[in-house]
Structure 1
Amino acid sequence: MISPQSSNYERLEGGLGPSRLGMRNIAWRRIILCLAVSVVVVLLLRPSPERVWNIKGPIWDAPVSIDIGHGHASPRPTDESPTPPVPNSPQHPRPSSHESDPDPSKTVFCAAPHSPSMPLVQYALMIDAGSTGSRIHVYKFHHCGPSPVYEYETFVQKQPGLSAYAGRPDDAAQSLDSLLDVAMRTVPEALRRCTPVAVKATAGLRLLGASQSADILDAVRRRLSTAYPFPLESRDPVAIMDGRDEGVFAWVTANYLMDTIRADSPRMAVPYAVLDLGGASTQIVFEPVFRQHEHEAKLREGEHRYELSFGGKEHVLYQHSYLGYGLMRARKSVHRLVDFVASLRNSTSTGAEIANPCLARGTRRVVEVEVAGSDPATKNVTMFGGDFSGFEACNDIVQLTLAKDAVCQVKPCSFDGVYQPSLMETFRNGKVLLLSYFYDRISPLLPPSSDTTPSSLPGPPPPKPLTVSSLAELAKDVCLGLPSWEQRWAGNPHAMQELADRPEYCLDLTYMYALLRSGYEIEDGREVEIGKQVDGTELGWALGAAIAMVGGELTCTA
């Protein structure tokens, strides 16, 4: 064995072979070795310009140009390096909101834009016209570097959504005024005429029908053009968003904010699978990994395939948007099925109440049931949770709504006959992130986090990881009614209030479990995460869509 203190060791480490010169040159070789080590240490400890740049917060690696029609995104190459931003010192803290921003017309990161042709600060307005409500995201960016850099957002929402104004397009357009007034208060006056705005409607208007939805969108476009100074986005400023882009933009937003797809993200970072549950539709997006020995070694061609270039990496995503399988539509499907079964028993006479196994025991609700081929097309029925209500009985009904027995033409399928690579086979170790109604229903029922309690000090144990089977356990306790609630959530008044105000909580949780377990076939023990915001930024598709908007040509109104 060669001793590390010998000159032979030094030569072997340098790839030179054993020395024949003896010990006489040890001193100068040690000096050279020490100098080399010092240089290496200095290089390793010196922060790279890219890391200094990106440490300031969420930053898009390059302007992204999204082809909405073809579902392809690619960053435009830049040859210039970003100019160093103003340090994030106590005198110049990074603002996290409009309220904490010392000057909304400027930025703490630099004093001048990277390119003289660009403004120092730019805002972008994205209105999410969903099925249950409309939401505005006012995003602030700066141009200290060659790419627009995201700083923070101002977020406000209201109900109902545009689809509630069927046949009244002008009223629908004016319903957005309160949101746009927020933008008027947030965006400095000097920047308003260079702040693009877009309205992207989702599943609610898709279900409304082509004629009525077109009338509403036309009225919204006129209202924006005549009543507000903001320029309309250059491409499809007011439109129904393609379900493909809705899911993929949500995937981009979440994984960017979670630091898994940026150019400086850890090399081994695995992007999250993003499952979004809205009112009228639900989306799934993930990046499957195929192993060569498997029967299916690559993602099949089709509308589900989405190729994305982002952060210097190529991603081949699987995505699908299930129209009609959002939470509110699932409720309607279950109620209609319960009413149909009751009608076979001749129990739907006027004034009769119907037992619904998906309502928590001891609760009642007047529900609107769709009636095919009748005028009016709906009727009100009082339903109640009886002694036989519970998770198992409700799950039996929910399973029927998922159409697991639909014909699967291209295998493997998830539900409703839709092709989907197996998450157990092609996404074995990746994390799963649940958004929107998943978060809204699950979060209030979870124990408060104790992450800040050191493990060495006495205190409550940290909460157990949330798994798919956790949803079934929550649903079981919720469906049993008030005595079960008091036993599990007696110390959580917020949870008790949520449950008391929502008789369909049992149905909602049961549907979520069935969607994950039976629909997407995610195993019971798989850990999942729920999310709503990251560092004050709303998760969802809006940020992904906004960066595509600000990365294009900047057009200002006169």
Structure 2
Amino acid sequence: MFSQRTSNQYERLEGGMGPGRVGSRRFGWKKFAIGAAVIIGLVWVFGPRREDLIPEKYMPSIIRPNPSEDTAEPPLNPTEQITRPPARPTDDDDDDIIPPHLPSVRPTDPASDPDPSKTVYCTSPYKPSQPLVQYALMIDAGSTGSRVHIYKFHNCGPSPTYEYEVFKMTKPGLSSYKYSPLEAAESLDVLLDEAVLVVPAELRACTPVAVKATAGLRLLGVEESAEILEAVRRRLQDRYPFSLQGVDDVVIMDGKDEGVYAWITANYLLNTIRGDSPPGAETHAVLDLGGASTQIVFEPKFDSLKPDSTLEEGEHKYELTFGGKTHVLYQHSYLGYGLMQARLGVHRLIEFMGNMRGSPTDPATKIGNPCLAKGTTRLVEIDDERHSEKWNVTMVGEDIGSFEACNRVVEIVMAKDAICEVKPCSFNGVYQPSLMETFPSGDILLLSYFYDRLQPFLTTMDPPPPIHVSTFETLAKQVCEGKPSWEKYWGNNADLMEELEDRPEWCLDLTFMHALLRLGYELAGDRQIEIGKQIEGTELGWCLGATLAMVGADLKCRV
């Protein structure tokens, strides 16, 4: 991260030539010249060198700015110091200055951290009132599982600086314990026990913890979700030493915050929104696909010459000030259009269209499902919320499974033709500025299930090719054709073959993802995209963004 460019003055000092002089007088006395040459030679041979004054391990880290450059450091935002170097020495510094402490090895996890209760970046905090090291815990209580992010920060600068995280997950999610709040709370023990192991004992009482549930609990009844959250809060207070900070520490997170925090995390780690980001850095659009909901967040750019070319007012508009700059974002969270909920919607529609209502006592009832790969079978539970009924149906791909047929079903579920009150709309009647017009060439980053479903196929290609929206369509067509097609394309990959045989709905998943991008968000098939799970060892998603806001506030320690 450090530039090796040096000024001419610095190069002269390192070359033993001394500072440059302009217009120096020439002396004609030969004896004086000879004597001076002898003295200089003796000093050069036996005198101390710059390399002797500064340990070798620090030499590559010293940067000398050009005298014409402005060396003033811009103010730092509390959340933008991941890779910011310490203050640089200037040309006015003596040659025998003590160099800044720049660790040769920067810890990336507890195993590489020489002392988790301290930091390699400094020996005392920037402000005496701050702790040297600060940990923070964020538990993402999602619809399919719960995940703990254990973040380490240090206070060597004017605001907390992120170092690394420890990540652990467990299944199922809290929403699976609809009628057992205590069991729901106990399901988080494996995550919190990991936090106890990671966070040094003397720092636990001042380590904030938050549990933020997402779409899974949003879909439960108000009473059921409230009982689960209260049980989680009680268990945190009674069993664990960490500090709850207030009313928003164990909550169901608003969908818009989930998307925006994910956008902050990605663009923060990609260095597009920090104070030290390159001038003119373009932000990434972030599309996150969870189990129960999906979010889209991007920064649209409007043509000021066109009339009415602006972002409509409404809950979708999110103004964010970060790194000294204001970003006007479009965001929306589609509850019910996460991958697991999309599966349920497709299965319900196929069962209804087939007019073959089974019963709980007759799971052998079969129905053809074009969204299952050819030759595969899946026992599906149909949940009719209108009549509070559930029954099992055996669905089969037989010879009807195909991308084209499945895509027609998915299009109905996505309600692309729903009434659009404020145009333009994406799907289900939701207003959204056109990505083709307001974000025509920006980078698009896909997270969560987008990554999980696509990555296994990319690992079979060396090197992995560029990813386009049409990549989902190509793979869906190959997967939906069933085992002969799998063997043709991936027969030499035992792990992927096992995954495909164990998940008949992979055909549905890829088809839905393509429809979401192509039909829903109206991205062109040749639009290049990126998928991601981590950046430099840090999990993508909303958690880091939410934690940065938490550690930037006044923290309370547990008494």
SS of the residue 2:110 aligns to: coil
State how far apart, in whole Å, the 2-side matches of 1:47 and 1:447 are: 46
State how far apart, in whole Å, the 2-side matches of 1:372 and 1:257 are: 42
| Residue 345 of structure 2, aligned match among 333, 339, 342 | 333
Q: Does 1:181 align with 2:193?
A: yes
- Specify whether residues 556 and 501 from structure 1 end up closer, same or farther in structure 2 by C-alpha distance, changes over 3 A only: same
> How far is 1:117 from its partner?
0.3
| Residue 43 of structure 1, aligned match among 56, 66, 78 | 66
State how far apart, in whole Å, the 2-side matches of 1:557 and 1:347 are: 53
CA contact under 8 A between 1:83 and 1:114: conserved in structure 2? no
| Residue 150 of structure 2, aligned match among 129, 133, 138 | 138
Letter in 2 for 1:364: T
Name the structure 1 match of 2:134. Answer: 122
Percent identity over the alignment is 60
Q: Does 1:363 align with 2:386?
A: no
CA contact under 8 A between 2:358 and 2:365: conserved in structure 1? no
Name the structure 2 match of 1:217. Answer: 229
State how far apart, in whole Å, the 2-side matches of 1:483 and 1:296 are: 53
CA contact under 8 A between 1:290 and 1:296: conserved in structure 2? no
Name the structure 1 match of 2:477. Answer: 476
| Residue 181 of structure 2, aligned match among 152, 169, 172 | 169
SS of the residue 1:190 aligns to: helix
| Residue 394 of structure 2, aligned match among 377, 382, 406 | 382
1:465-504 Cα distance to aligned partner (Å, 9 max, x none): 1000111000000000111111111232222122111110
SS of the residue 2:122 aligns to: coil
- Specify whether residues 86 and 47 from structure 1 end up closer, same or farther in structure 2 by C-alpha distance, changes over 3 A only: farther
Name the structure 1 match of 2:51. Answer: none
Name the structure 1 match of 2:419. Answer: 407
State how far apart, in whole Å, the 2-side matches of 1:300 and 1:260 are: 25
Letter in 2 for 1:441: R
CA contact under 8 A between 1:86 and 1:108: conserved in structure 2? no
TM-score (norm 2): 0.83
CA contact under 8 A between 2:77 and 2:274: conserved in structure 1? no
SS of the residue 1:43 aligns to: coil
SS of the residue 2:66 aligns to: helix
| Residue 77 of structure 2, aligned match among 59, 62, 66 | 62
CA contact under 8 A between 2:245 and 2:555: conserved in structure 1? no
State how far apart, in whole Å, the 1-side matches of 2:112 and 2:346 are: 46
Name the structure 1 match of 2:302. Answer: 290
State how far apart, in whole Å, the 2-side matches of 1:111 and 1:167 are: 50
- Specify whether residues 216 and 346 from structure 1 end up closer, same or farther in structure 2 by C-alpha distance, changes over 3 A only: closer
Letter in 2 for 1:514: A
State how far apart, in whole Å, the 1-side matches of 2:161 and 2:473 are: 41
Q: Does 1:244 align with 2:245?
A: no
SS of the residue 2:355 aligns to: helix
> How far is 1:156 from its partner?
0.3
Name the structure 2 match of 1:510. Answer: 511
Letter in 1 for 2:77: A
Letter in 1 for 2:534: Q
- Specify whether residues 86 and 98 from structure 1 end up closer, same or farther in structure 2 by C-alpha distance, changes over 3 A only: farther
Q: Name the structure, 1 or 2, with higher relative contact order (CA <8 Å, separation 6+).
A: 1
- Specify whether residues 281 and 346 from structure 1 end up closer, same or farther in structure 2 by C-alpha distance, changes over 3 A only: closer
Letter in 1 for 2:553: G
CA contact under 8 A between 1:347 and 1:354: conserved in structure 2? no
State how far apart, in whole Å, the 2-side matches of 1:552 and 1:449 are: 45
State how far apart, in whole Å, the 1-side matches of 2:200 and 2:109 are: 14
- Specify whether residues 477 and 539 from structure 1 end up closer, same or farther in structure 2 by C-alpha distance, changes over 3 A only: same
State how far apart, in whole Å, the 1-side matches of 2:242 and 2:358 are: 58
State how far apart, in whole Å, the 1-side matches of 2:166 and 2:69 are: 36
Letter in 1 for 2:220: L
Q: Does 1:352 align with 2:365?
A: yes
State how far apart, in whole Å, the 1-side matches of 2:386 and 2:167 are: 41
State how far apart, in whole Å, the 2-side matches of 1:44 and 1:204 are: 58
> How far is 1:226 from its partner?
1.3
1:302-331 Cα distance to aligned partner (Å, 9 max, x none): 000000011111100000000000000000
CA contact under 8 A between 2:373 and 2:479: conserved in structure 1? yes
Name the structure 2 match of 1:269. Answer: 281
TM-score (norm 1): 0.83
SS of the residue 2:244 aligns to: coil
Q: Number of paired residues?
A: 485
What RMSD over aligned residues (CA atoms) do the two structures have, in Å?
2.5
Name the structure 2 match of 1:147. Answer: 159
SS of the residue 1:208 aligns to: coil
> How far is 1:428 from its partner?
0.8
- Specify whether residues 344 and 494 from structure 1 end up closer, same or farther in structure 2 by C-alpha distance, changes over 3 A only: closer
CA contact under 8 A between 1:86 and 1:110: conserved in structure 2? no
Letter in 2 for 1:330: A
Name the structure 1 match of 2:493. Answer: 492
Letter in 2 for 1:172: A
Name the structure 1 match of 2:106. Answer: 94
> How far is 1:175 from its partner?
1.1
Name the structure 2 match of 1:525. Answer: 526
> How far is 1:266 from its partner?
1.4
Instruction: Map 1:376-455 onto structure 2 (within 5 A).
Output: 377-448=389-460, 450=462
- Specify whether residues 278 and 161 from structure 1 end up closer, same or farther in structure 2 by C-alpha distance, changes over 3 A only: same
Instruction: Report which of the two structures shows the higher radius of gyration computed on alpha carbons.
Output: 2
State how far apart, in whole Å, the 1-side matches of 2:273 and 2:355 are: 53
SS of the residue 2:241 aligns to: coil
> How far is 1:343 from its partner?
1.1
> How far is 1:49 from its partner?
7.6
State how far apart, in whole Å, the 1-side matches of 2:543 and 2:452 are: 18
SS of the residue 2:192 aligns to: helix
Moved more, 269-278 or 347-356: 347-356
Name the structure 1 match of 2:47. Answer: none
Letter in 2 for 1:126: M
Q: Does 1:206 align with 2:201?
A: no
